[in-house]
Each structure stands twice: as structure tokens, then as C-alpha cells.
Amino acid sequence: MGAFLGLLLGLGLLLVYRARTVPPTPAKPGRSWQDRSRELLQQAGIEGVSPGQLIGASVVSGLAAFVVVLGTSGVLVIGLAFGGFASLLPITLVRRRRAQRAVELREVWPEAVDNLASGVRAGLSLPEALTQLGNRGPEQLRSAFRHFGEDYRATGRFAESLDRLKGNLADPVGDRVVEALRMAREVGGTDLGRLLRTLSTFLREDARTRAELETRQGWTVNAARLALAAPWILLLLLATQPSAVAAYQQPAGALVLLVGGVTSFLAYRVMIRVAKLPVERRVLR
């Protein structure tokens, strides 16, 4: 019994020593706002715009709305409120474009995979079939696959060209397709055509299911957004009448607008969280 207790004591001392001497594993650094903004622009299909330019557009739109509303109403707090709303407009438009592009790509990926299967069945190699999509594939995907073809012809490195293709697409479905093609290329065999046909069927079923859910969700979300925006639209109309906005020049009126703004923001976030469908994330970067 004494030997067993001594063994436990020695093991405990060893663990304490290791905990104090072994350096902890460094945590993986988080992505900066520039990386997130750059990926947002890529997913929206917006080229030639940097994260700094997106922030600059937000600042300019906010200042413009602030000056216009302040000049119309003469009330500082109303100008600040609508300036804040306008500053979010560029980012909101980019996010909406990202959602629209995700829907477009989800609808055309089955066609692209079918074209790949047809090219492989016709005797083309996998890199050649991918390159052909730059000319004969769906319009939304031609630019990315055209760049893939140029990169592959210049380097001859299939894996690295696929990595750059994933970066240009910036699409969760595209990540799955690219990784499936990478695995098929590395493993080899004669089942590539069957894999592509199975993948095309799966993508069609997934796109059809998500389209039905988004259609049913759209009416509810749009009605909630209209109900949320209605009081602020009414306030904007009242801002043209000096007698109607006189109350907001007082501290109590400013407090009402502040509480209303915070409540609207929280209600909007709750509405989006409740009505949000599961979003595919790029886990295969």
C-alpha cells in the first residue's frame, strides 16, 4: 500500500513538473477583419475592391446620409441615426450579393459536374476536362476555371492549381467538388465517371431542398423586415416637418430615438437568428 501511494505521489509530482516546464501549444491565430472582408468580397463575386475601399464606401455613405438628413430635419440625433443606417448599406449590399451568388452557384454546379463527367467519358484527362469548363461550362463559373487552365498550363502542378481554384471560387460547394476531384485524382481507378454522376445527383437534391426552404422562409423574413423598417421610414417622412421633429430636439426625444434604435437592432438580430437557415461553411479551405 505504501509503495502504491508513493507511486501516485511520484506521478503527481511528474505531472506538475511537466505542466510547469512544457510550453503550451500556441493557439491558432484568428482571422483578421481584412481576411474576412476579402473573403466576403470574393464570395460576392466582386473583383477589384479591397476591404479598405469597402470600409471607405461605408464611411462616405454614412456621412452623406448624415449631412442630407441633418440639413433636412435640423435635428442632430436624427441625422446620426440615419447616418448609422446608411453606413451599413454597402456591407449589407455585399452580403446580399454573396447570398444571391451562392444560390446561383448552387444551381449551376450540377451542370458543371455533368460537363466534367461528359469530358472524362469522352477520353479527356481530369485537368483537360476542368480546363474545358472555362469555355463550355456555366457562365458563372467560366472565369474561375479559365484561370485554372491558365495556371495549370503555366505550372503543370494539378494540386496547387486546385488550391488556387478553390480560392477563386470561394464557395462551400466548390470546395467539396474540388476535394472530391483531388481525391479521385490521387486514388485513381476507373470509377471517376460514377463518382461525378453521384455527386451531380447529390448536388441537385441539395439545391432543390434548400430552394424550397428559402422560398417558404422568404415571405416571413421580408414581412418582418418591412415591419422593422416602417417606423424609421415614417420618422424620415416626419423629418421634413419642423413642427413634427421639434420634440426630438429635447433630451427626452433623443432618448426615445436611442432606445428605439437599440431595440430595432436587437429585434433585427433576433429575427435573423431565428429565421436563419443552416449556412454551409468553407470547412475544406
- Mean pLDDT, range 166-177, rounded to an integer: 83
Q: Which of 38-47, 110-119, 212-221 has the lowest mean pLDDT?
A: 212-221
pLDDT at 3: 52
pLDDT at 26: 41
34 three-class SS: helix
How far apart CA 98 and CA 95 sit, in angstroms, is 5
How far apart CA 205 and CA 208 sit, in angstroms, is 5
pLDDT at 4: 45
Whether 10 shows a pLDDT value over 70: the answer reads no
Q: Which of 146-150, 209-213, 281-285 has the lowest mean pLDDT?
A: 281-285
Q: Which of 20-34, 147-161, 175-189, 217-231 has the lowest mean pLDDT?
A: 20-34
DSSP state, 28?
A: P
Torsion of CA 48, 49, 52, 57, to 10 degrees: 140
Whether 60 shows a pLDDT value over 90: the answer reads yes
Alpha helices in the chain (DSSP H): 2-21, 33-43, 51-73, 76-87, 89-121, 126-136, 139-155, 158-169, 172-187, 192-238, 242-245, 251-275
Whether 117 shows a pLDDT value over 50: the answer reads yes
- Residues making up the chain, counted from first to last: 285
Whether 163 shows a pLDDT value over 80: the answer reads yes
Residues 6+ apart with CB under 8 A from 49: 41
How far apart CA 239 and CA 202 sit, in angstroms, is 53
pLDDT in tens, 231-269: 888 888 877 777 777 777 778 877 888 888 888 888 877
- Where is pLDDT greater, at 12 or 94? 94
pLDDT at 62: 92
Mean pLDDT of all residues in the chain?
A: 79
* DSSP class per residue in 263-283: HHHHHHHHHHHHHPPPPP---
